[in-house]
Amino acid sequence: MTSTTRSLAAVNEPDTVRRLIDEFRAEHPDSAAAAPAPASDHGHDYDLVVRARQVMTTAGIAEREIGVRDGKIVAIEPFGHALDGAETIALADDEVLLPGLVDTHVHVNDPGRTDWEGFTTATKAAAAGGVTTILDMPLNSVPSTVTGAALELKQLVAAPQAFIDVGFWGGAVPGNEQYLRELHDAGVFGFKCFLLHSGVDEFPHLEPDELETYLKTLQTFDALMIVHAEDSRAIDRAPKPDGDVYAHFLASRPRGAENLAIAEVIERTRWTGARTHVLHLSSSDALPMLRSAKADGLDITVETCPHYLTLLSEEIPNGATAYKCCPPIREVGNRELLWEGLLDGTIDYIASDHSPATLSLKDLQNGDFGVAWGGIASVQLALSVIWTEARRRGVGLDKVVEWMASKPADRVRLRSKGRIALGYDADLAIFAPDQAFVVDAKTLHHRNPLTPYQGKALSGVVRKTYVRGTAVDFESPRGRLIRRGID
Ligand SMILES: [Zn+2]
């Protein structure tokens, strides 16, 4: 811990960010917000009625009619009730009405690195994949979301581009402890930190002792800390990943680095009484200690990602940097244990960790795993990827929805999302679980057409997505910015 790491990067200084806000406002004088939702038609009982033989209710799949008014689910009745709506849709027999998914781990990179991704492309991709709420990660955009000013800039940039609802994480970096409270009060859903280099220099990591200091602060206002848990020293001492051989890259990110860092998170959680969450669990070795931490009553949760649950290191071709992410995709035995952890509840939920970059940053020409950016863009495919694998294992669609909608919503205290239930937002996805398709990166909405799922045959197509009762039309962005405790 050196004193030089205690101040914010120049691009994150509030004065610098305030100038960007002023510039943005001058360039976009009328960019107040997204298009308003169509007004309610009060000649009918409901703005929208959805009739379906298969509705994923909180008690499983049932025949239902759903009545929506002012963007909320206000009626759930038996099929045949003939609810009266200004607009009525009837699902086909092969379609299931799902609650819109909640993806709590998305890197939008806007403003600052919009050649990697942006709010327009990311939220369209999400909507096409049945995701109706994303929480944006605080890094890779410039500035990072580490002060209230940076959050304000992010919100200005995101509002006119959001096709679905968007919330924000704050960042916890050396030198921003004084800004945590203002970010919390402005409605971030919690704070993200790294325990090793984040990949971008303006978002430095915390040492374990600093993590503990920050947890003590967050504990005073009951905020959640989400952690990229790989140990800095362990990664520094691992073999270097240079070259196009995937096995070398895997060896450069050993399970031990994750195990060490997760042990630190667990014990600092125990010592401070804070609320914590382990991001993108890859190492199944960590499951027993997470299980025991939960049994001890610690307020710690865990997510994993579609790629760890479906892809195998043994099958990754050399030079295929589309598969590079950190922590890495591991062996078949590891994957099987992650599924066990998911099914027994040690792993709480699934998030995409949608983390796009430009094609040149993925070093496609040389396929050097040491050089390529680590990140997989999958917000649009996550549901189909997980459903295809779940079905193969005899796991029901209700579990998939729990892992990708209700549980993440609950953890981040989104009280009106993630379920088809009375009083909840009418965020809905019409899903055809038996329809198959072959992944073609060129047809995906995210900005740079690269995916490790290219050419894969998947089950499950999202045919239409509704955000607060309005169909996403991919032309008029009608999503809203959401804040913790309010939405
Ligand atoms: Zn991430």
Ligand 1 centroid to residue 208 C-alpha, Å: 19
Ligand 1 centroid to residue 53 C-alpha, Å: 37
What's the pLDDT tens digit per position in 56-72?
999 999 999 999 999 99
Domain residues for 162? Answer: 99-417
pLDDT at 33: 55
pLDDT at 16: 94
Whether the Cβ atoms of residue 372 and residue 292 lie closer than 8 Å to each other: no
Domain assignment of residue 329, yes or no: yes
Q: Which two tokens stand for residue 422?
A: 């009375």
Whether the Cβ atoms of residue 463 and residue 52 lie closer than 8 Å to each other: no
pLDDT (average), residues 206-218: 98
Domain assignment of residue 43, yes or no: no
Whether the Cβ atoms of residue 190 and residue 223 lie closer than 8 Å to each other: yes
Ligand 1 centroid to residue 106 C-alpha, Å: 7
Residue ranges in 191-304 assigned as alpha helix (H):
208-220, 232-237, 246-252, 255-272, 287-295
Q: Which two tokens stand for residue 8?
A: 């914010």
Residues 6+ apart with CB under 8 A from 344: 291
User: How far apart, in whole angstroms, are the C-alpha atoms of residue 316 and residue 299?
Assistant: 36
Domain assignment of residue 51, yes or no: no
Instruction: Name the domain count of the chain.
Output: 1
pLDDT (average), residues 337-351: 98
Ligand 1 centroid to residue 353 C-alpha, Å: 5
125 vs 32, higher pLDDT: 125
Domain assignment of residue 471, yes or no: no
Ligand 1 centroid to residue 145 C-alpha, Å: 14
Ligand 1 centroid to residue 343 C-alpha, Å: 23
Ligand 1 centroid to residue 107 C-alpha, Å: 6
Whether the Cβ atoms of residue 403 and residue 349 lie closer than 8 Å to each other: yes
pLDDT at 451: 95
Ligand 1 centroid to residue 294 C-alpha, Å: 23
Percent of the chain with pLDDT over 90: 92
Ligand 1 centroid to residue 187 C-alpha, Å: 20
Ligand 1 centroid to residue 350 C-alpha, Å: 12
Domain assignment of residue 435, yes or no: no
Domain assignment of residue 200, yes or no: yes
Ligand 1 centroid to residue 282 C-alpha, Å: 13
Domain assignment of residue 34, yes or no: no
pLDDT (average), residues 188-195: 98
Ligand 1 centroid to residue 197 C-alpha, Å: 13
Domain assignment of residue 14, yes or no: no
Whether the Cβ atoms of residue 487 and residue 188 lie closer than 8 Å to each other: no
Ligand 1 centroid to residue 60 C-alpha, Å: 31
Ligand 1 centroid to residue 103 C-alpha, Å: 12
pLDDT at 2: 43
> What share of residues in the chain are helix, strand, coil (percent, to 5)?
35, 20, 45
Ligand 1 centroid to residue 351 C-alpha, Å: 9
pLDDT at 34: 54
pLDDT at 167: 98
What's the pLDDT tens digit per position in 80-116?
999 999 999 999 999 999 999 999 999 999 999 999 9
Ligand 1 centroid to residue 354 C-alpha, Å: 7
pLDDT at 268: 98
User: How far apart, in whole angstroms, are the C-alpha atoms of residue 176 and residue 467?
Assistant: 34
Please report, for the domain that includes residue 103, its CATH number. 3.20.20.140
User: How far apart, in whole angstroms, are the C-alpha atoms of residue 216 and residue 249?
Assistant: 36
What is the value of pTM for the model shown?
A: 0.96
Ligand 1 centroid to residue 81 C-alpha, Å: 45
- Residue type, position 420, single letter: I
- Residue type, position 469, single letter: G
What's the pLDDT tens digit per position in 400-411?
999 999 999 999
Ligand 1 centroid to residue 355 C-alpha, Å: 6
pLDDT at 242: 85
Cα dist from 320 to 305, 329, 442, 447, 454, whole Å: 19, 12, 18, 19, 11
Ligand 1 centroid to residue 443 C-alpha, Å: 23
Task: Compute the C-alpha angle 40/95/66, nearest 5°.
Answer: 30
Ligand 1 centroid to residue 71 C-alpha, Å: 30
pLDDT averaged over the chain?
A: 95
Ligand 1 centroid to residue 26 C-alpha, Å: 32
What's the pLDDT tens digit per position in 136-188?
999 999 999 999 999 999 999 999 999 999 999 999 999 999 999 999 999 99
Residue given tokens 């929208």 in the structure block: 48
Ligand 1 centroid to residue 112 C-alpha, Å: 17
What's the pLDDT tens digit per position in 442-480?
999 999 989 999 999 999 999 999 999 999 999 999 999
Ligand 1 centroid to residue 192 C-alpha, Å: 10
Sign of CA dihedral 198, 201, 202, 206: positive
Ligand 1 centroid to residue 23 C-alpha, Å: 29
What's the pLDDT tens digit per position in 4-59?
457 899 999 999 999 999 999 999 887 655 566 666 667 999 999 999 999 999 99
